[in-house]
């Protein structure tokens, strides 16, 4: 759905992150939300109908980019910069308090 | 630590205010949700220093670099990756960062937290593959990301045109551009004399339009947009020239203008006024940007949409106002005149009446089967059912349907609920109140609450 202009053979990724258990290349400056858009089946499933969602606003107001980041559920993906080795997993259902 | 001023937001308004307040020797803390300064308009400005992405983003984007550099060296304390989830008069602010919360005290507060895109629900707007134009532009600024496949843009306003041009310059393919703005009307043209003061701004807009029109990808007067697909976007439908059209789509980017972020000022009970040009609420501000609560100031788009240039000047004006309020500058009126702040602001806002008239907000009725509340998946039909025999009160709709009760706290559905209530009662939207906004302004975990140190002690 989205691809980085930085993602060319001449430009090695800055890091590897683990999305749903799979090693995935990533670049400095990206957020978790941009990974959700690149990797299939990473976007959250809604608590009401179980529909899948992907980031909508990228500016912290829609909460459709919620993900489990390094074990912490309901992390706002668009406000979370990627770091090497970060684990990103799909969030199912309700956010936890 | 007691700060003289806490600024919420490190965009154009917040940064320029921070620089000016620090120059006066005040202890300033700038809190921002993002990892680096610049706000949404200049997102990634410190990192995008060379290369094709920077060239495509254009000159207005590059203008942020100097301000970000002055901000970094101005001496203000900077708390990135930090959310403000409660503000209490006095002033104390509850901040959350990295799963930990803290409470800080300030003598004055400046809200410079900007705008969000106006949410306009339509069938299929929750499907993966549909997002806002602003979101796509942020992806471009923060990771050089471009949409792939059949890419459609639908909406009105300067932003979709700007984004289309930037993406095309980077080699992206845009399948089609559905312009949902009404035909150029006399009302818009009547605003032109003022607008001509900003000829550079106008020329840019017309250049964007021509480039898209050249190869027939610009479809004017599109309406009745729908997104369809099984689990993700596959097709879009729209109406233009009296005919219903359908096309394959992988990505649909939508935009219907921007509205101020008002959750903070609403929660604090500040007086707000309805902007009838653009149908949004904005806090009522005096000529220094002070709200109806003494010591609480607002600058930039959070106080009414004006764009980045006007926001930097509003930040300077608010900085003077705050200096006056804190008693560290006696002659703020003459300082305001010396810096020609009012003339500069007038110039920065010259194009705004024209844009407001050209891109008036959509007034279409939301069909019953369309989801209005993205969080709790409440449709317009459910809201209409709930409003029958009820006073036009959004809070009653919330209690009856859970609409507005999810993590976004009504940021996506607030104006839609207002519009539906207005339509059901045959009254203007400005006569319907907004949701009662209560802290926490952003969701916090019990763990974060428990991590607050000295919560009572300071008080």
Reading chain A (97 residues) residue by residue, the pLDDT tens digits are: 898 887 888 888 999 999 999 999 998 889 999 999 989 999 999 989 999 999 999 999 999 999 999 999 889 999 999 999 999 999 987 655 4
Indicate yes or no: CB of A58 within 8 angstroms of CB of B139: yes
| Residue of B82, B117, B131 for testing the chain A interface, max A β-carbons within 10 Å | B131
Dist CA A59 CA A42 (whole Å): 19
What one-character-per-residue DSSP string does B296-349 give?
Answer: EEE-GGGGS---HHHHHHHHHHHHHHHHHHTTS-S-HHHHHHHTTHHHHHHHHT
**Among residues 107-136 of chain B, which lie with CB inside 8 Å of chain A?**
116-117, 126, 128-132, 134-135
Chain B residues in contact with A63 (beta carbon < 8 A):
374-375, 406-408, 443
| pTM of this structure | 0.94
Contact in structure between A16 and A84 (CB atoms under 8 Å): yes
Count residue pairs from A and B with Cβ separation < 8 A: 128
Of A55, A63, A66, the CB nearest to B131: A55
How would residue B195 be classed by pLDDT, with cut points 50, 70 and 90? low
Q: In angstroms, what CA-CA distances link B8 with A58, B93, B134, B299, B384?
A: 18, 10, 21, 10, 37
Alpha-carbon gap: A93 to the closest alpha carbon of chain B (Å) = 11
Indicate yes or no: CB of B377 within 8 angstroms of CB of A49: yes
pLDDT reported for residue A6: 79
pLDDT reported for residue B458: 46
Q: Is B449 on the interface with A (CB under 8 A)?
A: no
**Among residues 346-385 of chain B, which lie with CB inside 8 Å of chain A?**
374-377
% of residues, chain B, pLDDT over 90: 73
Q: Three-state SS for A82?
A: coil
Q: What is the DSSP code (8-state) at residue B442?
A: S
Q: Which long-range contacts (CB under 8 A, 24 or more apart) does B305-309 make?
A: B305/B115, B305/B257, B305/B258, B305/B259, B305/B260, B305/B278, B305/B280, B305/B352, B306/B348, B306/B349, B306/B352, B307/B348, B307/B349, B307/B352, B308/B11, B308/B12, B308/B39, B308/B41, B308/B42, B308/B60, B308/B63, B308/B64, B309/B12, B309/B348
Contact in structure between B411 and B442 (CB atoms under 8 Å): no
pLDDT digits (tens, 9 = 90+) for B129-174: 999 999 999 999 988 899 999 999 999 988 888 898 888 888 898 9
Q: Is the pLDDT of residue B206 over 80?
A: no
What one-character-per-residue DSSP string does B400-424 give?
Answer: HH-TT-STTTTTTTHHHHHHHHHHH
pLDDT reported for residue B134: 97
Closest-CA residue of chain A to B52: A5
Q: Three-state SS for B150?
A: coil
| Residue count (chain B) | 459
- Please calculate the CA angle B343-B202-B252 and round it to the nearest 5 degrees: 120
Closest-CA residue of chain A to B99: A72
Q: Three-state SS for B191?
A: coil
pLDDT digits (tens, 9 = 90+) for B280-297: 999 999 999 999 999 999
pLDDT reported for residue A41: 92
CATH number of A23-89: 3.10.20
Alpha-helical (H) ranges within chain A are 32-38
Q: Please, what are the domains in chain B? A: 2-116+259-329 (3.50.50.60), 119-256 (3.50.50.60), 365-452 (1.10.10.1100)
Indicate yes or no: CB of A46 within 8 angstroms of CB of B377: yes
Q: Is B200 on the interface with A (CB under 8 A)?
A: no
């Amino acid at each position: 759905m989205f691809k980085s202009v930085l993602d060319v053979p001449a430009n090695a990724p800055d890091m590897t992150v683990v999305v749903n258990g799979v090693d995935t290349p990533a670049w400095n400056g990206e957020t978790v939300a941009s990974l959700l858009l690149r990797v299939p089946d990473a976007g959250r499933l809604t608590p009401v109908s179980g529909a899948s969602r992907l980031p909508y606003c990228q500016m912290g107001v829609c909460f459709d980019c919620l993900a489990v980041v390094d074990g912490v559920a309901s992390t706002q993906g668009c406000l979370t910069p990627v770091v090497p080795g970060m684990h990103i997993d799909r969030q199912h259902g309700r956010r936890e308090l | 630590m007691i700060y003289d001023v806490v600024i919420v937001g490190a965009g154009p308004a917040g940064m320029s205010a921070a620089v000016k307040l620090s120059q006066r020797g005040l202890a300033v803390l700038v809190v921002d949700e993002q990892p680096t300064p610049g706000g949404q308009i200049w997102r990634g400005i410190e990192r995008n220093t060379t290369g094709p992405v920077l060239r495509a983003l254009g000159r207005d984007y590059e203008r942020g670099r100097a301000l970000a550099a002055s901000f970094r060296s101005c001496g203000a304390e900077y708390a990135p990756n930090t959310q403000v989830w409660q503000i209490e008069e006095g002033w104390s602010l509850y901040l959350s960062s990295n799963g930990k919360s803290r409470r800080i005290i300030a003598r004055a507060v400046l809200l410079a937290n900007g705008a969000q895109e106006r949410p306009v629900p339509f069938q299929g707007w929750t499907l993966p593959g549909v997002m806002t134009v602003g979101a796509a532009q942020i992806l471009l600024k923060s990771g050089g990301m471009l949409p792939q496949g059949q890419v459609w843009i639908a909406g009105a306003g300067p932003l979709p045109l700007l984004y289309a041009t930037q993406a095309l310059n980077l080699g992206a393919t845009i399948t089609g551009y559905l312009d949902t703005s009404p035909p150029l009307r006399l009302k818009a043209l009547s605003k032109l004399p003022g607008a001509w003061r900003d000829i550079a701004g106008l020329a840019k807009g017309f250049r964007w339009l021509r480039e898209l029109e050249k190869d027939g990808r610009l479809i004017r007067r599109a309406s009745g947009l729908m997104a369809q697909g099984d689990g993700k976007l596959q097709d879009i439908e729209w109406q233009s020239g009296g005919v219903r059209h359908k096309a394959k789509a992988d990505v649909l980017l939508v935009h219907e203008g921007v509205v101020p972020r008002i959750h903070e000022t609403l929660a604090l009970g500040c007086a707000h006024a309805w902007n009838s040009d653009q149908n949004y609420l904005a806090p009522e501000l005096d000529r220094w940007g002070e709200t109806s609560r003494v010591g609480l100031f607002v600058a930039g788009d959070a106080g009414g949409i004006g764009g980045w240039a006007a926001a930097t000047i509003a930040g300077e004006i608010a900085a003077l106002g705050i200096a006056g309020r804190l008693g560290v500058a006696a002659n703020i009126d003459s300082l305001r005149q010396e810096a020609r702040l009012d003339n500069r602001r007038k110039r920065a806002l010259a194009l705004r009446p024209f844009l407001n008239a050209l891109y008036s907000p959509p007034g279409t009725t939301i069909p019953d089967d369309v989801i209005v509340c993205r969080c709790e998946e409440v449709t317009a039909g459910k809201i209409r059912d709930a409003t029958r025999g009820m006073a036009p009160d959004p809070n009653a709709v919330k209690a009856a349907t859970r609409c507005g009760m999810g993590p976004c706290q009504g940021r996506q559905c607030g104006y839609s609920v207002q519009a539906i209530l207005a339509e059901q009662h045959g009254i203007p939207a400005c006569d319907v109140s907004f949701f009662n906004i209560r802290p926490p302004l952003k969701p916090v975990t019990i763990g974060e609450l428990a991590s607050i140190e000295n919560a009572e002690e300071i008080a």
